[in-house]
Structure 1
Amino acid sequence: MLKYALLVLFVGALGGLVLASFVLRGRLAPWLVSVLHALLGASGLSLVILGIINAEGGKLAWLALCVLLLAAGFGFYLATIHYGKQIAFKRVVLTHAGLAVTGVCLLLLAVFVS
């Protein structure tokens, strides 16, 4: 289950790169890409939770889940800014991205090292 979560999160990250490129250039990102990014992130989180319930990954998977949930919180904040047709602060976007990358790296370790 955790391998599928990684796949979904990687595809979602591609959408995140598109969104970040718009924000870093000072432009409003396409709403459709934002929604797809959110849906893929939520699906990935659901798969991580299911993997943990099935006793996959151990403590690293739990840590990855916590970091990814924190990234999701920043993502919800960014979505509210986007919904208001405003451009997000670059530091918030970079914080969201950094947390998401950290969570995925921890999940990679949980799947392939542990």
Structure 2
Amino acid sequence: MIIYAVIVLAIAALGGLYLAGHVLRDKLAPWAVSLLHAGLGALGLILLIAALLQGGAPQTVLIGFVILLVAALGGFFLASFHLRKKLPPQVAVVAHAGVGVVGFLIVLSQVV
């Protein structure tokens, strides 16, 4: 289950790079990609929840999951700007990405 979460989260991260590229160039990101990024991120978290509930997942997966939850909260903050058709602070975009990468790498470390 964890490997599937990693795959889904990796695809979400690619979408996030695309979105961040738009915002860092002072452009609004496309809604479709934003929704795909959010949906894949949510699916990745659900898969991690399933893995954690099955038992046997290392403690590091739980740590990575919690960090990814923090990144998700940052994503809601960024989406609030998108809904208002305003650019979010670039520092918030970088922070969201950084927290997400840390969480992803922690979960990934349990797969490789």
Q: Same fold (TM over 0.5)?
A: yes
5+ residue gaps in structure 2?
A: none
The corresponding residue for 2:12 is 12
| TM-score, with length taken from structure 2 | 0.97
5+ residue gaps in structure 1?
A: none
1:64 aligns with 2:59: no
User: 1:46: Cα distance to partner?
Assistant: 0.2
User: 1:110: Cα distance to partner?
Assistant: 2.3
The equivalences for 1:1-114 within 5 A come to: 1-112=1-112
- SS of 1:26's partner is coil
| TM-score, with length taken from structure 1 | 0.95
Deviations 1:31-65, CA, capped at 9 Å, x for gaps? 11000000000000000110111124311001001
User: 1:108: Cα distance to partner?
Assistant: 1.0
Runs of 4+ in 1 over 6 A off after TM superposition: none
Aligned partners of 2:48 and 2:70: how far apart in 1? 14
Question: Aligned residue pairs: how many?
Answer: 112
Deviations 1:78-101, CA, capped at 9 Å, x for gaps? 011111100011100000000100
- SS of 1:4's partner is helix
Aligned partners of 1:8 and 1:56: how far apart in 2? 21
